[in-house]
Structures are given as C-alpha cells and as structure tokens.
Structure 1
Amino acid sequence: MIFWEGGRYKEAEKLQEEVLEEQKQVLGDHHPDTLLTMGNLAVSYSNLGEHQKANELNVIVLEKRKQVLGENHPDTLLTMHQKAQELNVMVLEKRTQMLGDRHPDTLCTMGDLASSYSTLGEYQKAKELSLFVLEKQKQVLGENHPHTLLTMGNLAVSYSNLGEYQKAKELQGIVLEKQTQLLGENHLDTLRTMGNLASSYSDLGEHQKAKKLRVLVLEKRKQVLGDNHPDTLKIKKLLDSM
C-alpha cells in the first residue's frame, strides 16, 4: 500500500478501517478480501505501536481463515506468523521493562522476534535485530554459549536471505566449528548449521562442497531422526535435485 511505503501509517489505518466496514456490509465478514483488509489493518496497528489491537485483530483473522481456507492455506499460515510476531513484540516490551534489555530472557525474545521477521520476509529487520542480540549475548553469555551460537546461525541466514552469501558462509563456518566442539556432530543445531552452510556453498557455486556436506547431513539425520522425518526427506530431496 502506498501509505505504508511513505510511512503514512495513520492515513493507512483510517482508510483501511473505512474499507473494512464497507467490505463487511457488501461481502460479509468471511470473504477473502475482507480478511485481507483485516490483516493489512493489523499491520497498520503494529506500525503505529498499537500491538494489542494488532494482536486481537490477527486472532480474529486467523480463526476466520482457518474456517474458510483451512489450517494449511498460505494465507492462514501467514496470519499465524503475523500473530506470533505481535506476541513476541508484546512479550519483548514487558520483559524489557521488567528485566532490562540485557537479560537472557529478553534477548531470547528478541531472537524469536528476529526469526518472525525473517519468516515474514522482513530480512533487513531480522538482520539488524540479530546483530543487536548477538552483541548483547556475547557480553552477557559469552561467545560460545549455545544461545549466542544460535543467534549467529540466524544472522547467517539473514545474510543469505539478503544475498550476502560470502558473509553467511564465513559465519556458518565459525558456528559449525564451535557447535561441533560444544554439542557434537550429531546435535540437531549442528546438523542445521551444516545444512545451511551447504546452501551457502551452493549459492556461491561451490556445488561439490555443497553435495559432500549434504550427504553427511543426510546420513546423520537418518541416524538421529530416522529415514522418514521431514528434515531427513528435505535434505534427500535437495540431493536428488543436484
């Protein structure tokens, strides 16, 4: 919406409220266009800092989309992620007030919010928040703490999503080395990092390295998760396509 692009969130909110009322009268509460406007209005509430209103509206949209489209429809899933994002914002505000912005629980919520941004395609926001969380976690928890390493891994994914593949590869290499030492080769966090590093190799055209690492990940996921686990099948599908 043009008002969003210009940062004119109050104007967007007012227009969406007017459109929503018209759509309810003409199309009904459950029409996809009505639900789309409700979802956009929730985003405007969020942009204006009205997180409680945004969350309440997202709950309504989610329930209606489940009824009309089903739980696995992309629009339903998108609303679920938006709702999760709003909840993370609300929890973060309260934890920052009560515990401060350096407390491990606050930093954990910040990390969850960064992941929500990434899921919703807001990669720059995810990157910036992950950088902030990482710096704080290094100070509070240390560079080798599992939470710090998880944030480093998420930051690498943000780099990849933004096309900064070399940065992603270098950071994933560091994380993988530390996770292997601290958690072991068969830990799920280690295997996730291996898979992400393989993707970075592929993005950079290092396809032989990508294939070799994916073969290793596949074998270890079979051992840890079994042949039919979705994560095992996902890496198998990637290998079959290479």
Structure 2
Amino acid sequence: MGSRHILGELHPDTLTRMQNLANVYSHLGKYKEALQIEEPLVKNSKQILGEQHSDTLTRMQNLAISYSDMGRYNEALRIEEPLVEKSRQILGEQHPDTLTRKQNLADRYSKVGRYNEALQIDEPLVDISKQILGEQHPDTLTRMQNLANLAVRYSNVGRYEESLQIHEPLVEMSRQILGEHHPVTLTRFQYLAISYSEMGRYEAALQIEEPLVEKSKAILGEHHPDTVIRIQNLADRYLKVGKYHKGL
C-alpha cells in the first residue's frame, strides 16, 4: 500500500514522496503530470509545515519551474517574486537556495521580455556567487554565462563589449575545468562566436565556429540538435563574409 493509505494524505513523508514522484515526471518531460502533483502539494505543504518551512519553499520553487517548463511564465513569476523575498528573510541573502531562486527569477524576467530587471538581478548575482561559491564553481560559471547572454542577445540592452569581457575568460575557465571537449565548453565557444558576430567581428566568429562544428560532429554526432544549430551558424557566418559557396 502507498504512503497515502498508510500514513495519510497530509503526513510529511507522504508529501516528500509526492514531491519525488513529481520530480521524476519533470525529469522525463512529463510537465503536466508533475504539475498535477505539485499544485495540491504546495497547498498541503503550506497547511502542514507552514508558509516559511524550507520544504514548502522548495515545493513552491519546483511548482514555478513546472509552470515555466510549460511556458506559463507569468504564473511562475507570481510564485518566484515573493519566493525570493521569503528566501532572503528566512535563509539569508547569500544562502545557495536564495541565489538559485534569484537566478530563476532573472531567467523568468528574461522570458517575458523584462530584460533590464533580469540584468539588475544577474549582475550582482555573479559577484555574490564568486564570493560565496568561488570563481570556478559550476553555478558561478552558469551565472556568468547567463549574464553574458543577456547582455549580448537583446538589442534593447546591447552591451556587447561587456558580454565579451565575460565570454572570453569563461571559455578559458571552461576549458581548464571541464576540458576542451565537454559539451558545456562547446556551448560556451558557441556563445562567444555569437558575441563576436553581434559585434560584426565575423572572421573572429569563424575561427571559433569552423573547428567547433567538427568537434560537435565528433562528440555529439552529426544529427544532434546542437550540432545542427552550429552548422547553421557557420553557414550564416560564411554568408556574412561573402563566402557564398561555403554557406550553401
């Protein structure tokens, strides 16, 4: 018999097992099924454990992520904005969970086009992450990448030089920490090339993208979605520099 029958619907262990099941659904891409568990789970967690219990905060965060996975960004934001404030008050400004929730909030702002608000979170978040977790921690590197992407991708922000100042050392750190052929390193090479291209430095982009396509084919395979995108980026860059026969 399951936890519900033995312990009851509202027992803390039942809530934990429901959350675990929702996490499995989410990892499998079954977001609707995850959501069907998480919505009542948050309500029950607030009722049994309280609004400020760490498990309740985590369940609110998971629910917001599920909304975002389904493209329901405004519903995610309605959870994440107050969640960041609660996390600051209960766990502190520099707690790893608070940092993660700030990053999620910045990501959501970016999804709905609120780029300046995303930047206002991302910029100090990178500095805090360096201080708390260290310059080479994977979460710090990810946050540096997010900040660089945000700065370069949107014309209404257009901070290309600043983006480049993050992307260039980030690629080097990724090479040293993860290795030349790690998929994350390849992705960071790709973003660096895009930064060069956005600045009109097409030849610099090409010097990255030509070997990147070959590495991507060798490591991920010719038909991997990331490889396909990199082949398309390379073709676009050939067209930019007038190498039309290569871009075909």
TM-score (norm 2): 0.62
2:135 partner amino acid: E
Partner Cα separation in structure 2 for residue 137 and residue 191 of structure 1: 23
Q: Which residue of 1 aligns with 2:219?
A: 224
Q: Note closer, same or farther for the CA distance 1:119–1:214 as it changes in structure 2 (3 Å cut).
A: farther
1:123 aligns with 2:115: yes
1:132 aligns with 2:127: no
User: 144, 163, 168: which one pairs with 1:152?
Assistant: 144
Q: Which residue of 1 aligns with 2:169?
A: 174
1:149 partner amino acid: L
Q: Which residue of 1 aligns with 2:101?
A: 109
User: 151, 158, 164: which one pairs with 2:159?
Assistant: 164
Contact 1:124 1:158 in 2 (8 A): no
Partner Cα separation in structure 2 for residue 228 and residue 200 of structure 1: 25
Partner Cα separation in structure 2 for residue 184 and residue 241 of structure 1: 27
Matching of residues 71-86 of structure 1 within 5 Å: 79-86=71-78
State the 1:109 CA deviation: 1.7
Partner Cα separation in structure 1 for residue 203 and residue 70 of structure 2: 35
Matching of residues 1-242 of structure 1 within 5 Å: 79-160=71-152, 161=154, 162-242=157-237
State the 1:199 CA deviation: 0.8
Structure 2 SS opposite 1:241: helix
Tell me: higher relative CO, structure 1 or 2? Use CA pairs within 8 A at least 6 residues apart. Answer: 1
Contact 1:221 1:232 in 2 (8 A): yes
State the 1:79 CA deviation: 4.7
Contact 1:110 1:129 in 2 (8 A): yes
State the 1:238 CA deviation: 1.5
CA offset digits 1:64-116 (Å, max 9, x no partner): xxxxxxxxxxxx99952333333433543343233212011210121122122
Q: How many residue pairs were aligned?
A: 170
Q: Note closer, same or farther for the CA distance 1:175–1:228 as it changes in structure 2 (3 Å cut).
A: same
Q: Which runs of 5+ in 2 are unaligned?
A: 1-59, 238-248
Higher mean C-alpha displacement, 214-223 vs 152-161: 214-223
Give the share of equivalent positions with the same residue, in percent: 34
Contact 1:141 1:148 in 2 (8 A): yes
Q: Note closer, same or farther for the CA distance 1:186–1:112 as it changes in structure 2 (3 Å cut).
A: farther
Partner Cα separation in structure 1 for residue 191 and residue 117 of structure 2: 20
CA offset digits 1:20-43 (Å, max 9, x no partner): xxxxxxxxxxxxxxxxxxxxxxxx
TM-score (norm 1): 0.63
1:171 partner amino acid: I
Q: Which residue of 1 aligns with 2:240?
A: none
Partner Cα separation in structure 1 for residue 202 and residue 99 of structure 2: 36
